[in-house]
Amino acid sequence: MAVIKPFRAVRPTRVLAEKVSALPYDVMNVAEACAMAAGNSDSFLHISRPEIDLPPSIDPHDESVYVRGKVNLDDFIQRGVLTQDGHDCFYVYRQQMGSVSQTGLVVCTSVDDYQAGVIKKHELTRADKEEDRVKHIDYLDANDEPVFYLSRTCAAVESIIEGVTCGEAEYDFVSDDGVIHTAWIISDHILIERLVMLFAAIPNLYVADGHHRSAAASRVRDLRRAKNSGHSGREEYNFFLTVIFPETQLNIMPYNRAVKDLNGHSLSEFMKQVSTCFTITSSPVPVVPGDRHEFGMYLDNSWYLLESLESIINEQDTVERLDVSILQNNLLSPLLGIGNPRTDQRIHFVGGIRGNDELERLVDSGEYAVSFALHPTSIAELIELADQGQIMPPKSTWFEPKLRSGLFVHLLQ
């Protein structure tokens, strides 16, 4: 059973929602965050990326950064930019990006469920990123950015949400990236109890985006439980901020790759080696892979379509048949020497939202030698792999649109 809990969100007023909301912390670097928050003292980036308010020489993992995040959160509350709802609620959050529309339920999910495997993962976390999120959440005393989960579709849940979205929206604005954000409040205790009961019949939830935040919420709970002699399991730190979307509505984009050099190979030797595993076809236009096991490759001002030879495809293995695995095992590792893409500094991962223009820019700049466009991993592949307890290679999925930060904050006490 999946436990969901209503909560008293700390959130912006209607008139300030657009000004407060921001992209999540991990899709930008410090310079980009500074530029996004420039001239906007109410941008949530002052809380999610508090290093922007400190000297550029400060290490982003210095204690002063986490302290500043808490100071900024308190300031937002004191100034009335953020206020806390008077009673527990659920919230409905819809995003529309062009033809893509996804509507999710904003809730708190259970650390116990996460630790017991009711919430299923498909990626490993990096120790440094996980530690950063532990400190950020613990110092902030809040989950300031929601985790992105998916669930099997439940007709009864969908019916309730559809009814809620027929009512007056609490938020309705277009962010600077063109995405429409709309939110509704569920305060009716009968509807809340009904949703809790319906989710109790759903066997599993799945992490779509937010493995580090999920793991960090779990660790923060354990830290606080160890310090609380009166721990009951009902404290707010036992739960963390989540938006749950039905599997049918989610949009996965590819997570592309760029590599700094050809690992000592000449261009002709490199192409010869690639041809042992892939059929290579020159393309006059940027390649957007139209099917599984196809790849676009850009180098030396030219695009190529790579089609995997049948001999390198193992459809019987859930992990090995993923396109990210095929590229890693047959090209990136043996030919380009990227043995561990999780730690190798020669590889760069490019979210699909940036398109092929970014792959061209990286190579044309001279900083990278070759880039690869992938076909997106499917929701079905993600669920099947998670159900088997398997782990995807790093950077296998890129979800768009991204959840906006700052619209809902969950205090831990």
Q: What's 331's domain CATH number?
A: 3.30.1760
Do residues 88 and 114 share a domain?
yes
Pairwise CA distance, residues 297 & 306, whole Å: 7
Q: Are residues 315 and 217 in the same domain?
A: no
Domain for residue 15, yes or no?
yes
Structurally, the chain folds into a number of domains equal to: 2
Distance between CA 298 and CA 310 in Å, rounded? 23
395 within some domain: no
- Is residue 348 within 8 Å of 362, Cβ to Cβ? yes
3-state helix, strand, coil in the chain (%, to 5): 35, 25, 40
219: left (phi over 0), alpha (psi -120 to 50) or beta: alpha
Regarding whether 159 and 308 lie in a shared domain, the answer is no
* DSSP class of 394: S
- Residues 173, 55 share a domain: yes
> Alpha-carbon Rg of the chain, whole angstroms?
22
390 belongs to a structural domain: no
Q: Do 236 and 132 have their domain in common?
A: yes
- Regarding whether 157 and 81 lie in a shared domain, the answer is yes
3-state secondary structure of 39: coil
Rounded to the nearest 5°, which phi and psi values hold at 386?
A: -65, -40
Token pair, residue 408, equals: 């809902």
Q: Are residues 259 and 245 in the same domain?
A: no
Predicted model pTM: 0.91
The verdict on 192 and 339 lying in the same domain is: no
Calpha distance 35→296 (Å, rounded): 32
What pLDDT is attached to residue 266? 98
- Residue 297 in domain: yes
Amino acid at 408: F
Helix (H) or strand (E) holding 67: helix 63-78
Domain extent for 365: 255-375
Task: Identify whether 393 is part of a domain.
Answer: no
66-411-34-23 Cα dihedral, nearest 10 degrees? 130
Handedness of CA 10, 176, 254, 348 (dihedral sign): negative
pLDDT values of the chain reduced to their tens digit, one per residue, 413 residues: 899 999 999 999 999 999 999 999 988 899 999 999 999 999 999 999 999 999 999 999 999 999 999 999 999 999 999 999 999 999 999 999 999 999 999 999 999 999 999 999 998 888 899 999 999 999 999 999 999 999 999 999 999 999 999 999 999 999 999 999 999 999 999 999 999 999 999 999 999 999 999 999 999 999 999 999 999 999 999 999 999 999 999 889 999 999 999 999 999 999 999 999 999 999 999 999 999 999 999 999 999 999 999 999 999 999 999 999 999 999 999 999 999 998 899 999 999 999 999 999 999 999 999 999 999 999 999 999 999 999 998 889 999 999 999 999 999 98
Question: 80 with 60, same domain?
Answer: yes
Q: How open is the CA angle 362-133-130, to the nearest 5 degrees?
A: 75
CA dist., res. 187 & res. 165, Å (int): 13
Q: Is residue 279 part of a domain?
A: yes
- Is residue 171 assigned to a domain? yes
**What's residue 233's pLDDT?**
95
pLDDT at position 342? 85
Does one domain contain both 46 and 179? yes
Residue 124: per-residue pLDDT = 87
Is 392 inside a domain boundary?
A: no
Residues 177 and 289 placed together within one structural domain of the fold? no
Pair 14, 42 in one domain:
yes
Alpha carbons within 13 A on the beta-carbon side of 251:
16
Region of residue 257 (phi > 0: left; psi between -120 and 50: alpha; otherwise: beta): beta
Residue 133 exposed, middle or buried by CB count within 10 Å (0-12, 13-18, 19+)? buried
Q: Examine residue 401 and say whether the peptide bond preceding it is cis (omega within 30 degrees of 0).
A: yes
| Distance in angstroms (rounded) separating the CA atoms of residues 244 and 265 | 46
Q: How far apart are CA 336 and CA 347, in angstroms?
A: 10
Q: Are the C-beta atoms of residues 47 and 69 closer than 8 Å to each other?
A: yes
Would you call 266 exposed, middle or buried from its count of C-beta atoms within 10 A (0-12, 13-18, 19+)?
exposed
